[in-house]
Structures are given as C-alpha cells and as structure tokens.
Amino acid sequence: MIAAYLVLLIPLVGIVFFALSGHKEETGKLNVRFNAVCLLATIWLAINVLNQGTIISSGGAFLIDPFNVYLIVLTAFVGLTTSIFSSPYMEHEKEIGKLSDTRLKLYHSMYQGFMLAMYLVLTTNNMGIMWVAMEGATLATVLLVSLYRTPESIEAAWKYFILCGVGIAQALFGTILLYYAAVQIGDGENALLWSVLYENATKLNPEILEIGFVFMLIGYGTKIGLVPLHNWLPDAHSEGPTPMSAVLSGLLLNDALYAVVRNKMLVDGATHSSMAGYLMMGFGMVSFLVAAILLHRQKDIKRLFSYSSIEHMGLMTFSFGIGGPLATFAALLHMTVHSLTKSAIFVTVGHAAQVAGTQKIDQIRGLIKTQPKIGWGLLIGTISIAGFPPFGVFTSEFLVLLATMDSYPWLTPLLLLGIGIAFAGLFRHIQPMVYGDKPEGQNPITANLWPVTIHLALVLWLGLAIPGFLAHWFSQATLLISGSTPL
C-alpha cells in the first residue's frame, strides 16, 4: 500500500517544488526524474498486486486491482517518456521566443498536477473522488492549452474549459444518483466506495442506476471525446504544446474511459440488461465513423491525429460495449497500444512541426530528406496506428472484429469500412509530408527520438507476441470486468 501512497505523493511534491523553484536550465531534467521515480513506484505497486491480488487500503479510500494497476503503470510510463521528449522540446520553444520562464514554471508544475489527477482517478475507490480528480485534470491542463497565448489557443482553452466543465457536471449528477441509490441500501459515508457498491450491485435500484449511467456516459464521454461531444478535443490538442497533446491523447482519454467502464460494471450488476452496453456501442460506433470521415478534411497535422484519437477511443468504447471476454480483452489491449502509439506519434509530430516551422500539413514536406529519423518515425507510427500487421494495433483491432463477428455480425462491415476510410485519410496526408521534396531552407533540429523508438518497439512486441505475464494480467482484468476469461 505504501507504493500507492508514494505514487500520489511524488507528483504532489513535484507540483509544489516546480511552483516554488522557478524555471532553471535543469528543470526539464528534474521533471524527467520525478516521473522516473514515480514509474519505479508504480512498478513496485504492480508487483505487489501481482503477488497479493486486489489491494484495498485501510479505510477503503484506495483500491488497486488488476484493471487499474496496469493503467497506472501505463500512465507513469507515458508520463516519463513524454517528459523526456518535453525537456529539449520546451527549451527549443523558449529559444525561438514562444515561451517565457514563468510560463515554463507553470508548465512543469501543472505537468505534475495533471499526473497527480490521473493517478488519483485510477487509484481512488471513491466514485465521488474519481469525479473530483477528473475535473482536477481539466483544471490542471486548461492553462497549458493556452500556454502560447495566441488568440487560437485561448479560444481552444476556453472551449475545453466550458465544454468539459459542463460535460463533466453531468457525470456529477450521475454520481449523485448513484449515491442516492446506494444510501437506500445503507452504509452512509462508505456508500460511494466502488468496492462496497460492487459487492451490493444486485441490490441497487436498477431504474435509478440506468438514469445515472446515461449521465455518467455523457459526462465522462465528453472527456473521452465521443461524437457529438468531441468538439473541444481537436482544438485543445492542436493549440496546446505538443507534450500536452501526447499526454492528453495517451492518458486523459483512457482514464475517462476507465471511469465509464467502472460505472458500467455496477450498472450491469444492478440491471441485468444490456442497456449500458448498447449505449456504449452506439456512441462508440458513431464516434469511430464520424472521426474516420473527418480525418480527410484536416489541414493541421495535430488536428489530424486528434481525430484519429477520437476514432480509436470510439472503437474502444464500442468494444467495451459489446462486453464479452474477447471484446473486453481486445479493448484493454487496444487501450495500451493506442496510448503508446499515439503518444509516440505526437512526439514525432512535435519535432516535424519544429523542423517545418508550422503545423500546416501542406507546408510540411520532405521530412525523410531533411531528417530521416523524424520522417521514418512519423511513417512507422502512422503505419502502426492505421492497424497494419505486425504492430499491436492490428492485433487488437483484429480481436475487436472477431468479437463483433461473434456477437453482432451485421456491424462488421461498418467497422471494416471505418478502418478503411481512416487508413485512406491518414495516408493521403502523411505520404507527401514524409516523401516529397525538401523545401528551401529546411534544416534538421536536435531531436530526442528515444521515446518514439521505445514506444513503437513495445507496440511491435505486443503485436508479435504478448508476453506471458501481460497476457495473464489482461486476463485477470477481463475476468474482473466481464466475468470470464478469453484464454
């Protein structure tokens, strides 16, 4: 349990430390160290869970089970690699005069603030605190979206703030309804603890929970970026600094989906109907298709990949909605490979935009000729996210397809169509950026592509063979969510 407290304590110290110490030359590297220590703590936590099974802290405030512990490690890992990328990237932004020391101080402090909110969402056992932490994540990142203070970035941040704030308020209403159902079966102060709710799920009032789940899905769904609540997402991703886009896409969206799945587990227990699953399937499928089509009409490289995030989040929501063991396993795997690949892509895109001096797709050209590392990184990342074998995204998408054919065969053509449209949408933009002729005066920059290499290598490994302990882990989580294992 000490490990869990450490995971929360380290970023908390980080917030205060960076806020007080001001920006110095080595601040970016210190940020890396904070995240590295945190990753070690999460691995320690994961080993504990592997040995002892589910851990609930005394008093029940925190719950670590196979489902959230792997997300915690993933969060820490992506947080670390993104901070490794962010250190030279933000220095470069400062050198070209886009940022000042005070803003970098805010950036590093809030980076840790965001990590804290993410860990709190994942570790807490209290559905109310989960809401508070999710709102906290918005509050921590909203000033980072407008970090450059351009009119566009302020507009994006305002949209993000208002849409996510209003959206997540719906989730609070859902939480209140959940609490209302819970106090009817007793246990006052502890009634919002997930472990207590889960044990007594069959006794909860199904009508209230059904209404509550609709609000939860809308609320947390705004954060996942489900169509038609997705409007803030491309704006916030494209106007904020690139490391922020990487962690928003790789972590925040996952954690919002995690919150929805936790609630779905309760609702399924109470209602014995597929209402929650159907809602998630519907929203997921619409998001998947709409985002795939919108990919074709983008002119900004970061907006392009944020629509790709919406598409993949839609697919995961759909897959969790189907709900069987195979579909759940596929969704968990897809969560992992998507956040690894997408954060790698945003890192490369950040460098590509610095090379070209712009984020406009039609002005980024000839990356392979200018700086082969960045060009190949972008190309391989895109191949991976589009679902080519042998990468992990292919495996998980294939499993989603299998699960769909098993349960709802008539939906398979729609899925295939969506994957095809998305593939075409990505490649028509990426191909000229990567190949093509090098524009005059375009020069290589100092870039650290280790995070990209590691992420993509991991995704490749997951595509070729999922290591035994990880497969075991996914099976445990699947067992927890869907009631049986796929293997």
Partner 1 sequence: MNIEQLDFYTQAILSLAALVGLTSFLMLGQGRLLRLIFVFAMQGFLLTLTTALAAYSLNNHHLYISAVLTLVLKVIFIPWMLRRQVLQMNMHRDIEALKNNTAVMLGGASLMVFSYYVLHPIVQSSSVVMLNALAVSLSVVLLGMLLMISHRQAIAHVVGFMSIENGLFFAAIVATNGMPMVVELGVAFDVLVAAVLFGIFFLHIRTSIDSLDVDLLNKLHEVEK
Binding residues with partner 1: total (CB under 8 A): 57
Q: Which residues pair with 300 in a beta bridge?
A: 360
157 touches partner 1 (CB under 8 A): yes
Nearer to partner 1 (CB atom), residue 8 or residue 169: 169
Nearer to partner 1 (CB atom), residue 294 or residue 430: 294
16 touches partner 1 (CB under 8 A): no
311 touches partner 1 (CB under 8 A): no
Nearer to partner 1 (CB atom), residue 207 or residue 406: 207
298 touches partner 1 (CB under 8 A): yes
Region 204-233 residues binding partner 1, contact defined as CB under 8 A: 205, 207-208, 210-211, 231
166 touches partner 1 (CB under 8 A): yes
Compute the C-alpha angle 461/53/36, nearest 5°: 50
- Cβ-proximal residues to 390 (8 Å cutoff; 6+ apart), any chain: 460, 463, 464
5 touches partner 1 (CB under 8 A): no
Structure token digits, residue 119? 């860990």
Nearer to partner 1 (CB atom), residue 31 or residue 138: 138
**Contacting partner 1 (CB under 8 A), which of 126, 222, 354, 371?**
126
191 touches partner 1 (CB under 8 A): yes
Nearer to partner 1 (CB atom), residue 169 or residue 424: 169
483 touches partner 1 (CB under 8 A): no
CB atoms inside a 10 Å sphere around CB 455: 29
358 touches partner 1 (CB under 8 A): no
Nearer to partner 1 (CB atom), residue 356 or residue 447: 356
Structure token digits, residue 399? 């499993």
Minimum CB distance to partner 1, residue 409 (Å): 33
Q: Name the segment binding partner 1 (CB under 8 A); options: 183-191, 312-320, 349-357, 456-464.
A: 183-191
**Contacting partner 1 (CB under 8 A), which of 28, 136, 269, 277?**
136
Phi, psi of 168 (to 5 degrees): -70, -20
Phi, psi of 317 (to 5 degrees): -60, -40
- How far apart are the C-alpha atoms of 363 and 449, rounded to whole Å? 22
Q: Name the segment binding partner 1 (CB under 8 A); options: 38-46, 234-242, 451-459, 479-487.
A: 234-242
Nearer to partner 1 (CB atom), residue 70 or residue 288: 288
**Contacting partner 1 (CB under 8 A), which of 156, 330, 335, 385?**
156
**Contacting partner 1 (CB under 8 A), which of 128, 282, 357, 390?**
128
Minimum CB distance to partner 1, residue 134 (Å): 10
161 touches partner 1 (CB under 8 A): yes
154 touches partner 1 (CB under 8 A): yes
Dihedral sign for Cα atoms in the order 69, 72, 78, 81: negative
465 touches partner 1 (CB under 8 A): no
Q: Name the segment binding partner 1 (CB under 8 A); options: 20-28, 188-196, 271-279, 403-411.
A: 188-196
8 touches partner 1 (CB under 8 A): no
297 touches partner 1 (CB under 8 A): yes
149 touches partner 1 (CB under 8 A): yes
Minimum CB distance to partner 1, residue 161 (Å): 7
272 touches partner 1 (CB under 8 A): no
132 touches partner 1 (CB under 8 A): yes
57 touches partner 1 (CB under 8 A): no
Nearer to partner 1 (CB atom), residue 36 or residue 176: 176
The 3-class secondary structure across the chain, one letter per residue, is CHHHHHHHHHHHHHHHHHHHHCCCCCHHHHHHHHHHHHHHHHHHHHHHHHHHCCEECCCCCEEECHHHHHHHHHHHHHHHHHHHHHHHHHHHHHHCCCCCHHHHHHHHHHHHHHHHHHHHHHHECEHHHHHHHHHHHHHHHHHHHCCCCCHHHHHHHHHHHHHHHHHHHHHHHHHHHHHHHHHCCCCHHHHHEHHHHHHCHHHCCHHHHHHHHHHHHHHHHHHHCCCCCCCHHHHHHHHCCHHHHHHHHHHHHHHHHHHHHHHHHHHHHHHCCCHHHHHHHHHHHHHHHHHHHHHHHCCEHHHHHHHHHHHHHHHHHHHHHHCCHHHHHHHHHHHHHHHHHHHHHHHHHHHHHHHHCCCEHHHCCCHHHHCHHHHHHHHHHHHHHCCCCCCHHHHHHHHHHHHHHHHCHHHHHHHHHHHHHHHHHHHHHHHHHHCCCCCCCCCCCCCCCHHHHHHHHHHHHHHHCCCHHHHHHHHHHHHHHHCCCCC
Closest CA to 308 of 402, 382, 417, 358: 382
**Contacting partner 1 (CB under 8 A), which of 9, 40, 56, 176?**
176
Structure token digits, residue 405? 């054919």
152 touches partner 1 (CB under 8 A): yes
102 touches partner 1 (CB under 8 A): no
By the criterion CB under 8 A, which residues form the site for partner 1? 126, 128-129, 131-133, 135-136, 139, 142-143, 146, 149-152, 154-159, 161-162, 165-166, 169-170, 172-173, 175-177, 179-180, 183-184, 188-189, 191-192, 205, 207-208, 210-211, 231, 234-235, 238-239, 294, 297-300, 303
